[in-house]
Structure 1
Amino acid sequence: MKQIKHHLTEPLLMGYAAGTLPEAFNLVVATHISMCDDCRAALAEYEAVGGEVMADVDPIDVAEDALAATMAMIESGTLNEKPAPARVKNSIFPGPLQDYVQGDLDSLKWRKVGGGVSQMILPTSKDASVRLLRIPAGTAVPDHGHRGTELTLVLQGAFVDDEDRFAAGDVEVANEDLQHTPVAEEGMDCICLAATDAPLKFSGLLPRIAQKFVRI
């Protein structure tokens, strides 16, 4: 198991347990949890508390034909979902992320966003966005701040900024108070999974011009 130093916050774990996070944030949280024993144990505690709360909630009546209607949908195939693609062994993408990516690193369709950085936007609900970022070793992401929350989970390599060093399994939780310039460490491209619920605030003119085209 990786030695993870930077973990999810309590509000994120509680929101995930309660089902109140945007899908994009859920994906980052689920992926980190699959890599982190500490956060997985903490989540289990929150889910246990939630179970106790639900046990005290008064039951709600459902329509008399609810069971029959559900069985009819099952028999007609309405509820059938496409089978999940087979997961790739020894992938840098943990299981929860593989279900979205449907491929491995070399098979993905990356799009250049400037400065050597590439991204692949993943399909999720519109209340937040999530993307894979590929930052060449030694490359800096343009200096930026945040209008909302950004979760950045490292899958391969590492990056450093004014706050700390983030390696595989680490997650950086950024908000409006953080202005930083992440730089991928030398030796290996840094692959990250990043989710945002608002556009970033770039300091430079060129990144601001390109921002609407790359949707970040």
Structure 2
Amino acid sequence: MTEIKHHLTDALLMAYSAGSMPEAFSLVVATHISMCDDCRARMGSFDAVGGELLMEAGAAEMTAGSLDAVMRMIAGEEPEPLLEKSHDNVEYLFPEPLRNYVDCSPDDIKWKKVGGGVSQLVLPTKGEGTVRLLNIPGGVAVPDHGHRGTELTLVLQGAFSDEVDRFGVGDIEVANEDFDHQPIAAPGVACICLAATDAPLRFSGLLPKIAQKFVGI
């Protein structure tokens, strides 16, 4: 099993535990947690603290009709259980949290080219932020860029390197406004990443700036 060296920060884990994180970022965090024993254990600690705080908060006041409303729901028909999607005989790259958004193999994805050989698939989420799958061919460099907000990048296949370090499968890179870099995919298999942003990237080159208007990165 691949050793994961780059993990989520405590601040991100606490925000996820508290349910205060946008769906786009929650998807990246949940996917990383499903791959990382270390962050999953730390997540359990934050959940335990949150549970203690709820216990100490005391009971919430109920409206006069609350009990009747609950009893009517109990007396009514139970909703049909959700059917689990079948993954038989398909080699999946994507961990379970991500399969609810991409229920197919990477070969079946309808990638959209964004320039320089890089392709993407924007995933449908609600609220602030955008999350996408990125497909970067081996040896290809993403244009040099900075950030106007936060970016979480989780490696699902292959690897990439930048000014910070090398990031392999399961590693997550957290970037902010003070961070400029140029990720380069490792030679060989394509690097597939799950990336969430809450603001457009800040590209240095003219061509990426022009393309940005059309691809929405």
TM-score normalised by structure 1 residue count: 0.93
Quote the residue 2:12 is aligned against: 12
Question: Where in structure 1 do 4 or more consecutive aligned residues deviate above 6 Å?
Answer: none
Quote the residue 2:37 is aligned against: 37
CA RMSD of aligned residues (A): 1.8
Unaligned runs of 5+ in 1: none
Shift of the 30–87 alpha-carbon distance from structure 1 to 2, 3 Å rule, reads farther
Are 1:62 and 2:38 matched, yes or no? no
Question: Deviation per CA, 1:134-156, whole angstroms, max 9, x where unpaired?
Answer: 00000000000000000000000
Quote the residue 2:210 is aligned against: 209
Quote the residue 2:118 is aligned against: 117
- 1:1-216 counterparts in 2 under 5 A? 1-70=1-70, 72=72, 75=76, 83-87=83-87, 90-216=91-217
- The one-letter code matched in structure 1 to 2:216 is R
Q: 1-side partners of 2:133 and 2:58: how far apart?
A: 43
Deviation at 1:70, TM superposition (A): 4.8
Q: 2-side partners of 1:145 and 1:117: how far apart?
A: 18
Q: 1-side partners of 2:212 and 2:71: how far apart?
A: 48
Q: Percent identity?
A: 60
Deviation at 1:68, TM superposition (A): 4.4
TM-score normalised by structure 2 residue count: 0.93
Question: Deviation per CA, 1:72-112, whole angstroms, max 9, x where unpaired?
Answer: 567367x6675342246641100000111121111111100
Q: 2-side partners of 1:209 and 1:71: how far apart?
A: 58
Structure 2 SS opposite 1:201: strand
Structure 2 SS opposite 1:127: coil
Shift of the 70–85 alpha-carbon distance from structure 1 to 2, 3 Å rule, reads farther
Instruction: Kindly tell me the number of residue pairs found equivalent between the two proteins.
Output: 215
Question: Deviation per CA, 1:21-77, whole angstroms, max 9, x where unpaired?
Answer: 111110000000000000000000000000000000021122343354356567367
Are the equivalent residues in 2 in contact too, given 1:2–1:35 (CA < 8 A)? no
Q: 1-side partners of 2:37 and 2:21: how far apart?
A: 21
Q: 2-side partners of 1:173 and 1:5: how far apart?
A: 13
Structure 2 SS opposite 1:7: coil
Q: 2-side partners of 1:122 and 1:84: how far apart?
A: 20
Unaligned runs of 5+ in 2: none
Structure 1 SS opposite 2:127: coil
Q: 2-side partners of 1:176 and 1:31: how far apart?
A: 24
